[in-house]
Amino acid sequence: MKTVSVIGSGIAGIAAAIRLRLKNYDVTIYEKNDKPGGKIYEFEINGFRFDTGPSLFTMPGLIDELFDEVGQQHTLQYSPLDVVCRYHFANGKVVDSYTDVEKFAAEMNEKLGEPRANIHACLHHSRKIYDLTADVFLFDTIHKFRSYLKPKFLKSMLRIGRLDPFKTMHQRNTALLTSPEAVQLFDRYATYNGSNPYVAPATLNVISHIEHNMGAFFPDKGMYSIVDELVKLATKLGVKFSYNAQVDLLLTRDNRVTHAVVNGQQIPCDGVVSDMDIRKFYTHVLQKKMKGTKYLNDDLSTSALIFYWGMNKSFPQLQLHNIFFAENYKAEFDSLFQTKTLYNDPTIYVFISSKHVKTDAPDGCENWFVMVNAPSVGNKLTQTQIAEMRETILQKLSLALGENIEEYIGCEKTATPESIEFTSGAFQGALYGNSSNSMFAAFNRHPNFSPDFKNLYFVGGSVHPGGGIPLCLASAKIVDSIFDV
């Protein structure tokens, strides 16, 4: 039986291992941390449980598909969301983003004066983009010549104008919507892969289709339960997990990987799938300049500064997902991508899993994941910068909620771009690898195979097709379709 070494136990690595095990490969996952998950992680403090990574669950059918292909009973329980997010605008307006398109359009009309027809037009436009791109750009490789000969690819290329690559997200949203708040809400979808809506192509509006037309969900036991259930499935199939196992180097010969060096030990392998951040992979594991490094020239995505607060109070005016917008959205992105600094009036994301998972916080309390976008830069944030941003966040949330938030914080932990890089391996803390701030960003992402070694493959958010749980699962599906050792 041929052996496959998987580097990293992020959701893409586990999904790839499951798929390759079904092909009768002997698969071992090597994880540098003491538990699986990659960016999908968790911790507990004083009775509060926190999910530390992705917090929105879309396209659950990709998880369902794994269980169906294995022929195992589905064990991951999740529920549809009625309200995806509650948006708080700088002018005091508050809007609930409903998954039901009719309710969402009515809400936008009532709260913002946005004509319902405009919301339908936006989501119809994003649906068309998805229909033309999904099979080509999300679930297939675009880096092999044979892909360009497929009818579905030719169909997409003949309708390239409908993919909307020649306008920015902001330009398209401004053309379709009338209220500045509605434009800001739809511009926010660029942040789902750490990009700038004033530069990123309007093709990224496809994200709004996934959230609204396809629906948003939440696991009944929290985000980390996705990892738990996939690990159980993989283990049942015979995938082996090795924790505290750092892959330091790959040994190669004749354009093939022959050994993975794990904690100093040389382990022979017939094939390798890397779920590492692609820049970390080249700098730390291959340690040499290769053809594949040509894909690493684009700007990095954003990182994050996160405060985990155990709140000794419940806030009924908040939802599972909440956004408190910056007043000047463009200035925020200029700060993040041009001057590479924290913005002084940031958009704040507050995620409270205990709204749905009651055991995530003690009775009458809530677990707050409070995040602002941060630039992915090599320079470490100073304690003064972190403290100043904490105070800015507290003031902004206290003003919006009409209460002194700080007095309810019972316990606290902080994550910075530097700590995110250390725990997850994300290069300079960039959450999604390269940003999508160019028309050709999709083509510039590293392919799911190595241009240098015949038995080396790549999955995860820093390679094609991109970041986020659905695209990570899609990368595993792509590798499954092209894997050959």
- Looking at the structure, do residues 228 and 206 belong to the same domain, yes or no? no
Residue 312 domain-assigned (yes or no) = yes
Whether 317 and 246 map to the same domain: the answer is no
The answer to whether 285 touches 249, Cβ cutoff 8 Å, is: yes
CATH code at position 284 = 3.50.50.60
Own/partner pairs for 293-298, CB < 8 Å, 24+ apart? 295/434, 295/444, 295/445, 295/446, 295/447, 296/434, 296/446, 297/444, 298/434, 298/435, 298/437, 298/438, 298/441, 298/444
465 preceded by cis ω (within 30°)? Answer: yes
Q: What range defines the domain where residue 324 resides? A: 303-374+382-415
Number of domains in the chain: 3
Instruction: Print pLDDT tens along the chain (485 aa).
Output: 999 999 999 999 999 999 999 999 999 999 999 999 999 999 999 999 999 999 999 999 999 999 998 888 878 999 999 999 999 999 999 999 999 999 999 999 999 999 999 999 999 999 998 988 777 677 777 666 565 556 666 566 555 656 788 899 999 999 999 999 999 999 999 999 999 999 999 999 999 999 999 999 999 999 999 999 999 999 999 999 999 999 999 999 999 999 999 999 999 999 999 999 999 999 889 877 677 787 787 789 999 999 999 999 999 999 999 999 999 999 999 999 999 999 999 999 999 999 999 999 999 999 999 999 999 877 689 999 999 999 999 999 999 999 999 999 999 999 999 999 999 999 999 999 989 888 777 777 899 999 999 999 999 999 999 889 999 999 999 999 999 99
The reply to whether 94 falls in a domain is no
Shared domain check, 411 and 329: yes
Confirm if 40 and 62 have CB atoms less than 8 A apart: no
Q: Cα–Cα distance between 190 and 174 in angstroms, integer?
A: 14
In this predicted structure, what is the pLDDT of residue 471?
94
> At 420, is the secondary structure helix, strand, or coil?
helix
Residues 195 and 282 in one domain: no
**At which residue do the structure tokens 């892969």 appear?**
193
